[in-house]
Amino acid sequence: DTGVSQDPRHKITKRGQNVTFRCDPISEHNRLYWYRQTLGQGPEFLTYFQNEAQLEKSRLLSDRFSAERPKGSFSTLEIQRTEQGDSAMYLCASSPPEMEKETQYFGPGTRLLVL
Amino acid sequence: AQKVTQAQTEISVVEKEDVTLDCVYETRDTTYYLFWYKQPPSGELVFLIRRNSFDEQNEISGRYSWNFQKSTSSFNFTITASQVVDSAVYFCALSEARGGGTYKYIFGTGTRLKVLA
């Protein structure tokens, strides 16, 4: 089985620039989640998709953040006008539709550094 | 509100010692799920176990065991005969049930385990 993949693995950008991250879930997983993890903390929920529908967004997801999942397959997370406080690990997870197997499997993450 | 507390920030043990990682949770839901994940230095979260709120049976998987006690809202994780490869950050997580399945996870702050040779 191919796991969740994320691209890029690392991103360094200057404050004010836009960045976009991609997540490819495990095939046939209909649920996809984005989390953010800062140093010394656990992951914090950002947003959730079921198929192509974005069903919930955290208050952490300011208007500079946007996520999409066209056609219910891969997802992108874009941050506009990045700020130094956006520096973090961005994690993507996916889970299968079968209730008895409902567990989120995480990708390797994209580590963002905003200078 | 849901909350997960991992009071142990860092634990160091010598190889072959047993170690228990504590997890205390808060939720108003009657149906919920609890998880443990391992995060090695590479950064990827590795799923270890899922437990639903109706199943209080303890579970053992090799050197790993989990003790779920609803009465104390705890879901503790024990590693028996620890090995250097067990060194990682371990996260406990809680999820409310929605639509029959899980939903967003609430993570604790993690416990960094260092196993010394």
What is the predicted pLDDT for the residue at B49?
Answer: 92
Type and span of the H or E element at B40: none
pLDDT computed for residue B101 by the predictor: 56
pLDDT confidence of residue A97: 80
Confidence check: pLDDT of A101 > 80: no
Indicate yes or no: CB of A42 within 8 angstroms of CB of B110.
yes
Per DSSP, the residues of B35-69 read EEEEE-TT---EEEEEEETT----EEETTEEEEEE
Asked whether the beta carbons of residue B109 and residue A45 sit closer than 8 angstroms, the reply is no
Residue A42 and residue A40: Cα distance in Å, rounded?
7
A56 band by pLDDT with thresholds 50, 70 and 90: confident
User: Which chain A residues contact residue B101 at CB under 8 A?
Assistant: 31, 95, 99, 102
- Distance between start and end Cα atoms, chain A: 37
Per-residue pLDDT averaged across A53-70, rounded?
A: 90
Q: Which of B8, B45, B48 to mutate to test the interface with A (most CBs of A within 10 A)?
A: B45
CB contact (8 A) between residue A48 and residue B104: yes
Interface contact flag, B47 A33, Cβ < 8 Å:
no
State the smallest CA–CA distance between residue B3 and chain A in angstroms.
12
Q: What is the pLDDT of residue B85?
A: 95
Q: Which residues of A touch B100 (CB under 8 A)?
A: 99
Task: Give the strand pairing for B32-39 and B46-52.
Answer: antiparallel
Residues B96, B63: contact at Cβ < 8 Å?
A: no
What pLDDT is stored for residue A112 in this prediction? 98
Per-residue tens of pLDDT for chain B, all 117 residues: 889 999 999 999 999 999 999 999 999 988 889 999 999 988 899 999 999 888 888 888 899 999 999 999 999 999 999 999 999 999 999 997 766 555 889 999 999 999 999
Q: What is the mean pLDDT of residues A88-113?
A: 89
CB A89 within 8 A of CB A23: no
Q: What are phi and psi of A99, to 5 degrees?
A: -60, -40
Among residues B63, B47, B62, the alpha carbon closest in space to that of B15 is found at: B63
* DSSP 8-state secondary structure symbol assigned to residue A48: E
Cα–Cα dist B14/B84, whole Å: 9
- Residues of chain A with Cβ-Cβ distance to B105 below 8 Å are 33, 35, 43, 45, 104
State residue B106's pLDDT score.
95
**pLDDT tens digits, residue range B22-55?**
999 999 988 889 999 999 988 899 999 999 888 8
- Residue A107, pLDDT > 60, answer yes
Residue A1: what pLDDT?
58
| List of chain A residues whose C-beta atoms are within 8 Å of the C-beta of residue B93 | 42
Question: What is the pLDDT confidence band of residue A94, given thresholds at 50, 70 and 90?
Answer: very high
- Asked if B48 and B100 touch (Cβ cutoff 8 Å), the reply is no
Mean pLDDT of A74-98: 94
Question: What pLDDT, on the 0 to 100 scale, is given for residue B26?
Answer: 96
Bond into A70 cis (ω within 30): no
Identity of the residue in B4, B105, B108 whose CB atom sits nearest the CB atom of A104: B105
